[in-house]
Amino acid sequence: MTSTTTIFQLGAEVLRRQAQPVDDFACLEFHKLIETMHETMLESNGVGIAAPQLGVSRQILIIASRPTTRYPHAPDMQPILMVNPSFEIVDGTLYKDWEGCLSVPGIRALVPRYQAIDVQYQNQQGEFCRLALQDFPARVFQHEFDHLLGLVYLDRVENNQDIIAETEFFKRIAA
Protein backbone atom coordinates (compact mmCIF):
# COMPACT_ATOMS: atom_id res chain seq x y z
CA MET A 1 0.00 0.00 0.00
CA THR A 2 1.20 3.48 -0.71
CA SER A 3 1.31 6.02 2.07
CA THR A 4 -1.16 8.15 0.08
CA THR A 5 -4.09 5.84 0.85
CA THR A 6 -6.47 7.90 2.95
CA ILE A 7 -9.24 6.57 5.12
CA PHE A 8 -12.05 9.08 4.76
CA GLN A 9 -13.20 10.49 8.11
CA LEU A 10 -16.62 11.28 9.54
CA GLY A 11 -17.89 14.40 7.79
CA ALA A 12 -16.68 13.31 4.35
CA GLU A 13 -19.62 13.35 1.96
CA VAL A 14 -18.78 9.92 0.48
CA LEU A 15 -19.52 8.30 3.87
CA ARG A 16 -23.10 9.58 3.72
CA ARG A 17 -23.91 8.40 0.17
CA GLN A 18 -25.62 5.15 -0.71
CA ALA A 19 -23.00 3.04 -2.53
CA GLN A 20 -23.64 1.85 -6.08
CA PRO A 21 -23.56 -1.82 -7.12
CA VAL A 22 -20.55 -3.28 -8.92
CA ASP A 23 -21.38 -4.62 -12.38
CA ASP A 24 -17.92 -4.94 -13.98
CA PHE A 25 -15.91 -7.64 -12.24
CA ALA A 26 -13.16 -7.61 -14.89
CA CYS A 27 -12.25 -3.93 -14.45
CA LEU A 28 -8.64 -3.39 -13.39
CA GLU A 29 -9.64 -0.51 -11.08
CA PHE A 30 -12.02 -2.88 -9.23
CA HIS A 31 -9.21 -5.34 -8.54
CA LYS A 32 -6.79 -2.58 -7.51
CA LEU A 33 -9.38 -1.17 -5.11
CA ILE A 34 -9.86 -4.59 -3.48
CA GLU A 35 -6.10 -4.92 -2.98
CA THR A 36 -5.86 -1.41 -1.51
CA MET A 37 -8.84 -2.04 0.80
CA HIS A 38 -7.27 -5.23 2.14
CA GLU A 39 -3.86 -3.62 2.69
CA THR A 40 -5.36 -0.53 4.33
CA MET A 41 -7.50 -2.63 6.66
CA LEU A 42 -4.50 -4.73 7.75
CA GLU A 43 -2.17 -1.76 8.24
CA SER A 44 -4.83 0.08 10.26
CA ASN A 45 -5.55 -2.91 12.53
CA GLY A 46 -9.12 -2.99 11.27
CA VAL A 47 -11.36 -6.06 11.29
CA GLY A 48 -13.32 -4.83 8.29
CA ILE A 49 -13.45 -2.07 5.70
CA ALA A 50 -15.88 -0.77 3.08
CA ALA A 51 -15.09 0.93 -0.23
CA PRO A 52 -16.69 4.27 0.79
CA GLN A 53 -14.05 4.55 3.54
CA LEU A 54 -11.48 4.85 0.74
CA GLY A 55 -13.61 7.39 -1.12
CA VAL A 56 -15.19 4.94 -3.58
CA SER A 57 -18.98 4.75 -3.44
CA ARG A 58 -19.31 1.09 -4.49
CA GLN A 59 -20.90 -1.90 -2.74
CA ILE A 60 -17.68 -3.63 -1.71
CA LEU A 61 -16.65 -4.66 1.79
CA ILE A 62 -14.21 -6.96 3.53
CA ILE A 63 -14.74 -8.60 6.90
CA ALA A 64 -11.69 -10.05 8.63
CA SER A 65 -12.25 -10.74 12.30
CA ARG A 66 -8.96 -11.38 14.09
CA PRO A 67 -7.31 -10.30 17.31
CA THR A 68 -5.73 -6.85 16.86
CA THR A 69 -4.66 -4.01 19.13
CA ARG A 70 -8.08 -2.42 18.43
CA TYR A 71 -10.02 -5.68 19.04
CA PRO A 72 -7.83 -7.95 21.19
CA HIS A 73 -10.59 -10.51 21.88
CA ALA A 74 -11.89 -10.87 18.29
CA PRO A 75 -12.16 -14.42 16.95
CA ASP A 76 -9.87 -15.39 14.08
CA MET A 77 -11.34 -15.87 10.59
CA GLN A 78 -10.04 -15.61 7.05
CA PRO A 79 -10.79 -12.28 5.30
CA ILE A 80 -13.91 -12.42 3.13
CA LEU A 81 -14.49 -10.01 0.26
CA MET A 82 -18.17 -9.28 -0.37
CA VAL A 83 -19.47 -7.44 -3.42
CA ASN A 84 -23.09 -6.26 -3.71
CA PRO A 85 -23.98 -7.85 -0.35
CA SER A 86 -27.35 -8.17 1.34
CA PHE A 87 -28.49 -10.04 4.42
CA GLU A 88 -31.43 -11.67 6.12
CA ILE A 89 -31.98 -11.66 9.87
CA VAL A 90 -31.90 -15.12 11.45
CA ASP A 91 -32.69 -13.92 14.98
CA GLY A 92 -34.43 -10.56 15.42
CA THR A 93 -32.99 -10.00 18.90
CA LEU A 94 -30.64 -7.02 19.07
CA TYR A 95 -27.47 -7.24 21.18
CA LYS A 96 -25.36 -4.27 22.22
CA ASP A 97 -21.58 -4.45 22.08
CA TRP A 98 -18.68 -2.05 21.61
CA GLU A 99 -17.74 -0.81 18.15
CA GLY A 100 -15.18 1.57 16.74
CA CYS A 101 -14.45 2.67 13.19
CA LEU A 102 -11.39 3.59 11.16
CA SER A 103 -13.42 6.56 9.86
CA VAL A 104 -14.31 7.73 13.39
CA PRO A 105 -11.01 7.48 15.31
CA GLY A 106 -10.75 7.83 19.07
CA ILE A 107 -14.36 6.89 19.92
CA ARG A 108 -16.18 3.68 20.84
CA ALA A 109 -19.88 3.11 21.33
CA LEU A 110 -22.34 0.42 22.35
CA VAL A 111 -24.27 -0.47 19.20
CA PRO A 112 -27.28 -2.80 18.90
CA ARG A 113 -26.88 -5.44 16.15
CA TYR A 114 -28.44 -8.75 15.15
CA GLN A 115 -26.49 -11.70 16.52
CA ALA A 116 -27.16 -14.09 13.62
CA ILE A 117 -27.61 -13.26 9.94
CA ASP A 118 -27.46 -14.96 6.54
CA VAL A 119 -25.42 -12.99 4.01
CA GLN A 120 -25.70 -13.12 0.23
CA TYR A 121 -22.93 -11.56 -1.86
CA GLN A 122 -20.79 -11.89 -4.96
CA ASN A 123 -17.12 -12.80 -4.78
CA GLN A 124 -14.27 -11.16 -6.71
CA GLN A 125 -15.19 -13.13 -9.86
CA GLY A 126 -18.88 -12.19 -9.61
CA GLU A 127 -20.03 -15.62 -8.42
CA PHE A 128 -22.96 -15.65 -6.00
CA CYS A 129 -22.24 -16.89 -2.46
CA ARG A 130 -24.09 -17.34 0.84
CA LEU A 131 -22.66 -17.33 4.34
CA ALA A 132 -24.15 -17.65 7.83
CA LEU A 133 -22.56 -15.25 10.32
CA GLN A 134 -23.06 -14.90 14.05
CA ASP A 135 -21.68 -12.99 17.01
CA PHE A 136 -18.64 -10.75 16.31
CA PRO A 137 -18.28 -11.55 12.56
CA ALA A 138 -22.01 -10.77 12.11
CA ARG A 139 -21.46 -7.47 13.94
CA VAL A 140 -18.49 -6.60 11.70
CA PHE A 141 -20.54 -7.35 8.59
CA GLN A 142 -23.46 -5.16 9.74
CA HIS A 143 -21.04 -2.34 10.61
CA GLU A 144 -19.42 -2.46 7.15
CA PHE A 145 -22.79 -2.92 5.42
CA ASP A 146 -23.96 0.32 7.05
CA HIS A 147 -21.15 2.12 5.21
CA LEU A 148 -22.76 0.98 1.93
CA LEU A 149 -26.02 2.60 3.08
CA GLY A 150 -24.36 5.91 3.94
CA LEU A 151 -24.48 5.24 7.69
CA VAL A 152 -21.81 5.09 10.41
CA TYR A 153 -22.09 3.13 13.65
CA LEU A 154 -22.87 6.28 15.66
CA ASP A 155 -26.17 6.50 13.74
CA ARG A 156 -27.22 3.23 15.44
CA VAL A 157 -26.42 4.28 19.03
CA GLU A 158 -29.55 4.38 21.19
CA ASN A 159 -28.22 6.67 23.93
CA ASN A 160 -25.43 9.26 23.76
CA GLN A 161 -24.16 7.94 27.12
CA ASP A 162 -23.19 4.76 25.21
CA ILE A 163 -20.43 6.75 23.44
CA ILE A 164 -17.01 6.87 25.11
CA ALA A 165 -13.42 7.83 24.31
CA GLU A 166 -11.32 4.96 23.01
CA THR A 167 -8.89 5.42 25.91
CA GLU A 168 -11.76 4.67 28.32
CA PHE A 169 -12.77 1.64 26.24
CA PHE A 170 -9.29 0.14 26.58
CA LYS A 171 -9.37 0.72 30.35
CA ARG A 172 -12.67 -1.19 30.53
CA ILE A 173 -11.52 -4.21 28.54
CA ALA A 174 -8.24 -4.40 30.49
CA ALA A 175 -10.10 -4.59 33.82
The binding site for Fe cation consists of: 101, 143, 147
Max Cα–Cα distance, the chain, nearest Å: 49
Judge whether 132 lies within some domain: yes
Domain that holds residue 126: 13-174
pLDDT higher than threshold 50 for residue 3: no
Classify residue 69 as exposed, middle or buried by CB count within 10 Å of its CB (0-12, 13-18, 19+).
exposed
In this predicted model, what pLDDT tens digit does every residue of 122-145 receive, in sequence order?
999 999 999 999 999 999 999 999
Active site (annotated) includes residue 144: yes
Among 144, 158, 166, 168, the active-site one is 144
Judge whether 1 lies within some domain: no
Instruction: Name the band, by pLDDT with cuts 50, 70 and 90, for residue 72.
Output: confident
pLDDT higher than threshold 80 for residue 1: no
CA pair distance 143, 61, nearest whole angstrom:
10
Judge whether 29 lies within some domain: yes
Judge whether 8 lies within some domain: no
Of 4, 9, 5, 1, the C-alpha closest to 147 is: 9
Backbone angles phi, psi at 124, to 5 degrees: -60, -25
In this predicted model, what pLDDT tens digit does every residue of 94-129 receive, in sequence order?
999 999 999 999 999 999 999 999 999 999 999 999
CB neighbour list of residue 137: distance below 8 Å, 6 or more residues apart: 63, 65, 75, 77
Total-model pTM: 0.94
The CATH number covering residue 75 comes to 3.90.45.10
Judge whether 5 lies within some domain: no
Judge whether 2 lies within some domain: no
CA pair distance 154, 132, nearest whole angstrom:
25
Domains: count for the chain: 1
Judge whether 3 lies within some domain: no
Judge whether 160 lies within some domain: yes
